[in-house]
Amino acid sequence: MLKMFTKTIAIASVVMFSLFISAGLASAAAAGAKPDKQKWGFKGPFGTYDRPAMQRGYQVYREVCSSCHMLEQLSFHHLADKGAPFYDADFPNPNDNPVVKAFAKDWEIEDVDQDSGDPITRPGVPADGFPHIYPNAIAAAAVNGGAIPRDLSLIIPARGGGADYLYALLAKGYVDAPDGFVVGDGTNYNTYFPGNQIAMAQPMFEGGVEYSDGTKASVEQMSKDLVEFLAWAGDPKMEVRKKTGFGAFLFLFIFVLLLFMTYKEVWRNVKH
Amino acid sequence: MSGPSTYEPKYAAERWLDKRLPIVRFGVDFMAFPSPRNLNYWYAFGGILTLCLMSQIITGIILAMHYTPDVNLAFDSVQRIRRDVQFGWLIQPMHAVGASMFFLAVYVHMFRGMYYGSYKNPRELLWIIGCLIYLVMMATGFLGYTLPWGQMSFWGATVITGFFGAIPVVGESLQQWLLGGYSVGNPTLQRFFSLHYLLPFVIVALVALHVWAVHHVGQNNPIGIDPKTKEDTLPFHPFYTMKDAFAIGVFMMIFALFVFYLPDALGHADNYQKADPLKTPPEIVPEWYFLPFYAILRAVPDKLLGVILMFAAIAILFILPWLDTAKVRSMRFRPVTRWFFIIFILAGFILGWCGARAPDDVAIPIGEGGLTFKWLSRIATFYYFAYFIPILPIMGWIEKTKPVPDSITKAVLSGDA
Ligand code: HEM
């Protein structure tokens, strides 16, 4: 009887968890086409980010997307943290990393003059956050036909479809609208965008950037690289979390085994 | 039941202390507490819940050192915790996942109590204190979910505080008083943070009463009969400390699986988007542990009736000890009611499923047009209440129960416990 009770609860819990999890995913994808699953090196219990791909992804972001989308949760120095795209073991302090210093210098940062107190702009330093592009949401909408280009640093965790969705949206979604589908003014057809009408025109075209490592810049390649970079931007501590998790499991496994043996030993002479 | 104290102070200092404040005696007696010898793993969930509560408080206090309760800063401050604070990447998911684990454990703990009839004489107050803990936990979980100020935080808070607006006459002013304004805003976030910090300590106090009550009346057990001789019990330490420790270890592995490998699986993607009062998300769903009640709320067309039903679903738990009229405690000896109970659990899961889906979607494709989630949740809601009234009282009167063993020891030795 107890066994049956146990079984009922166990089965029911498994069913419940899978239902809730699948319910979340299913409903998130309901409004656009369901993106195909891609192979990502950062998925799975031992997943890690592909560093060269992230570096290329940053280049695409910088050269193509950064005029409209910001990376709200990132500062330049984050790019040189341990596990980040431009980490360099010779510069344990990310603020000293020359690559990232050069990136930061490339941006104009609003500041206050230290003598006069007047507003000025100066070249960025690694401690600066990625600057805002628009003074406010109204300004952002005004220059983008009423739609707001979102922050990209959390775009992957913020979408139910995650990396697969972003890849599909950028690399596969911009196709001709099916017959009879009326695309609204200032919008573009996209298979994977909820509602299929996106205010963003297709941002990437073959050869849109020139990779210094010789990789061919196809739309698929650029999209893959971008996703790799943005996946890191959304969850920069993923690698350390999974690595620690493995250690934690090893410890817990031995610990639980010892507890089980102690428990059996204590109860050895007691029938129960 | 706790029996006479067995503690004998050995040293002069201990005797001095024992005469003035018998705190060592309290600890020793606590550990020697006689527990029925046939407790199974379902009885480890009390210990597991204690671990959850401590973990929530410790991680919560650390989070509160870095969190900022301001509508313009809250979302980013949680991101700062996850990205920049030392070990914040561990502490924040431990707290967020920990809330889910806490509810998982409390549901098992409650179902356990319902299956073995642990709410019956003399444990009615013990059960009621437990229901109070559950109520305060729900409030704490709801308030906590608002704090990261994502889309679901904001809209969940808007929907749930909206329930109070459905109360006739005073509803609207009550809602404004709770929110500190006409809608969810900065005053709401600040008071929610204050209360979210306070309520866990109310839970601690209630847990102290709960444990005191357990120690006064003694633990129930899977066959639901009282221990009669010394043979029927074992001292809490080392027998149940070790058994509980093992169970807690296994639970920690499940906990760790989610924290390290699936930290977002129990949350909603929309909460990675900053709250935007002008943009309603396509669907507003509460955390999974509220889904059954959310389904009950939406099962009826009238908002006020829905709210009443939802609160009644919780309130009815408080009077359960008096609804179940059976003399026999454990469902093991109640061949028919046991099935009603199993269906009750199923109804709970079905309600959870309904709460996660749109009411007009088809749940089961039978008949013309199929059974929608709305109708499925109506059936499950009906059964939820029917289980308490009239199934339990009637079954208590008419059911022919199986023979109950004479003693725990006898049952253990014959392999029936
Ligand atoms: C009964 C125990 C508790 C429960 C059930 C609980 C539940 C929650 C939940 C569900 C969240 C939202 C997490 C998220 O989605 O990110 C949260 C956040 C938070 N809680 Fe708690 N909590 C408890 C105890 C505490 C305590 C004792 C404190 C502090 C003393 C605390 C401080 C915080 C803070 C600062 C946040 C916002 C940061 C964040 O979202 O990670 N909590 N809590």
How confident is the model over B114-167, as pLDDT tens digits? 999 999 999 999 999 999 999 999 999 999 999 999 999 999 999 999 988 888
Q: Are the C-beta atoms of residues A32 and B369 closer than 8 Å to each other? A: no
Query: What pLDDT does A244 receive?
Result: 98
Of A20, A31, A234, the CB nearest to B288: A20
Cβ of A270 and B89 within 8 Å? no
Burial code of B181-212, b = ≥16 C-beta within 10 A, e = fewer?
A: eeebeeebbeebbeebbebbeebeebbeebee
Nearest residue of B to residue A9, measured between CA atoms: B345
Q: Which residue of A has its CA nearest to B38?
A: A272
Closest by Cα among A114, A161, A97, A152 to A130: A152
- pLDDT top residue among A216 and A3: A216
Residue A29 has pLDDT above 50, yes or no: no
The tokens describing B387, both together, are 């289980």
| Model confidence at A3: pLDDT above 90 | no
Low-confidence stretches of chain B (pLDDT beneath 70): 1-3
State mean pLDDT over A27-39: 76
Is the CB of A252 less than 8 angstroms away from the CB of B353? no
- Could B353 and A27 be called an inter-chain contact, meaning their C-beta atoms sit closer than 8 Å? no
Question: Which residue in A159, A210, A124, A8 sits closest to B115, CA to CA?
Answer: A8
Top pLDDT among A25 and A128 is at A128
Report residues whose beta carbon is within 6 angstroms of any ligand 1 atom. Answer: B 56-57, 60-61, 63-64, 67, 78, 92, 95-96, 99, 102, 137, 140-141, 144-145, 147-148, 196-197, 200, 203, 267
What's the A241 CA to ligand 1 centre distance in angstroms? 20
Q: DSSP secondary structure string, A46-93?
A: T----HHHHHHHHHHIIIIITTT---TT-BGGGGGSTTSTT--TT-SS
pLDDT at A2 over 50: no
- Residue (of B214, B2, B47) closest to B123 by Cα position: B214
Q: How confident is the model at residue A22 (pLDDT cuts 50, 70, 90)?
A: very low
- With cut-offs at 50, 70 and 90, classify the pLDDT of residue A24: very low
Query: Which tens digits make up the pLDDT trace of A50-74?
Result: 999 999 999 999 999 999 999 999 9
Q: Could you tell me what percent of chain A has a pLDDT over 90? A: 85
pLDDT attached to residue A13: 54
Nearest-Å Rg of the Cα atoms of chain A is 24
Confidence band, pLDDT 50/70/90 cuts, at residue A16 = low
Q: Average pLDDT, whole number, for chain B?
A: 95
Taking CB atoms and an 8 Å cutoff, what residues of chain B touch A159?
269
Q: Do A154 and B273 touch (CB under 8 A)?
A: yes
Beta strands in chain A (DSSP E): 108-112, 119-123, 188-189, 197-198
Give me ligand 1 centre to Cα B56, in Å: 7
pLDDT tens per residue across span B2-43: 567 889 999 999 999 999 999 999 999 999 999 999 999 999
DSSP state of B403: P
> Which residues of chain B have a CB within 8 Å of the CB of A18?
none
